[in-house]
Amino acid sequence: MLVYLSLLDTDEDKKHFSILYETYNRQLLYVAVKMLHNQEQAEDCVHETFMRLVKHIDKIDARTYKVLERFRKEQQSGKDIKLTEYLDTLEKEKKMVCYKTWGYLVTILKSIIINFLRKESRFISINDSKDIFTGYGPDMEEEVIRDRELSELKKNIAKLPETYQQVLMLQYFHELSSSEIGQILGKSSDNIRHISKRARDKLRTLMVRGGYLYDELSDKKGF
């Protein structure tokens, strides 16, 4: 509680928020425009994403800001460098906190867009989510297999409906509880648990079809 209070209306807080906006805004806007094909609606969804981020900014790893600040300084010094190129120069742990933050933001964005499309009656069923822009790129099909099992898992995760991916991402990558995920995605914690169970079952089925035998994924603590 004290930690939360210390975050309210501080210059530090605004600075962190500003860093996140300046770093990820273009990419989020791109994803939104690709999914909605309407810039005005895309901007509304990205705006909504940042508004939700404000409420859950404590979920962002504090190390992210230091990395991104240095990246901004590199850019301001005149270097024409992309974020991903910069992150590739860092050690793995620092690189992953930024990708984790990206994953967090894009998950919120996609959740907002899917809910928006449902309300607009433009999204018929969760099974149609293959039409949703995932943005994983051509490497998903052609990547060099360093680890077959991991590669197979990534491909199967990409095949899951968008909502399943979002819940699993926040559950296993960000290690959030069902109630925290519910707050971010605007669903009840019971609903999140059900979605998580279905997602894990489907993932397991896909992996078994690929020839990998697995026991059921264990629930994480807090689920």
Partner 1 sequence: MTNYLIKKAFEELSEMELKHIEDCLEKDAPIMPTYSYLIKMKKLIENPYSEEYESPIVIKHRISLRYALIAVLLMIMFTTTVIAFTPVREKLKDIIITLFSDHVDIDSIEEVEPDEANFVIKIPHKIPEGYHLYKETKEDNTVHMQWIDNEDNTLDYFEQPSSELSITITSDSSEVRDITIGTKHGKMFTDKEHNITTVLYEEEGVTFILIGCRPEEEMIQIADTIY
Nearest by Cα to 23 from 88, 86, 78, 77: 86
- In whole angstroms, what is the distance from residue 109 CA to residue 48 CA? 8
For 78, the token pair is 């005149």
Binding partner 1 (rule: CB under 8 A), the pick from 56, 61, 217, 223 is 217
CA 176 to chain centre: 12
Of 39-47, 62-70, 71-79, 176-184, the segment contacting partner 1 by CB under 8 A is 39-47
Of 10-18, 60-68, 70-78, 176-184, the segment contacting partner 1 by CB under 8 A is 10-18
Q: Does 2 bind partner 1 (CB under 8 A)?
A: no
Binding partner 1 (rule: CB under 8 A), the pick from 130, 205, 214, 222 is 214
How many angstroms separate the first and last alpha carbons of the chain?
22
Q: In which region does residue 215 sit, left (phi positive, over 0), alpha (psi from -120 to 50) or beta (all else)?
A: beta
Total Cβ atoms within 10 A of residue 106: 20
Asked if 42 and 36 touch (Cβ cutoff 8 Å), the reply is yes
Of 33-41, 69-77, 121-129, 187-195, the segment contacting partner 1 by CB under 8 A is 33-41
Minimum distance from residue 1 beta carbon to partner 1 (Å) = 16
Total Cβ atoms within 10 A of residue 115: 17
Asked if 179 and 189 touch (Cβ cutoff 8 Å), the reply is yes
Within 69-128, which residues bind partner 1 (CB under 8 A)? 82-84, 95-96, 99-100, 102-103, 106, 112, 116, 119
Within 124-153, which residues bind partner 1 (CB under 8 A)? 134-140, 149-150, 153
Residues that bind partner 1 (CB under 8 A): 8-9, 13-14, 17-18, 21, 25-27, 29-31, 33, 39-40, 43-48, 50-51, 54, 57, 82-84, 95-96, 99-100, 102-103, 106, 112, 116, 119, 134-140, 149-150, 153-154, 157-158, 168-169, 172-173, 203-204, 207, 212, 214-215, 217-218, 220
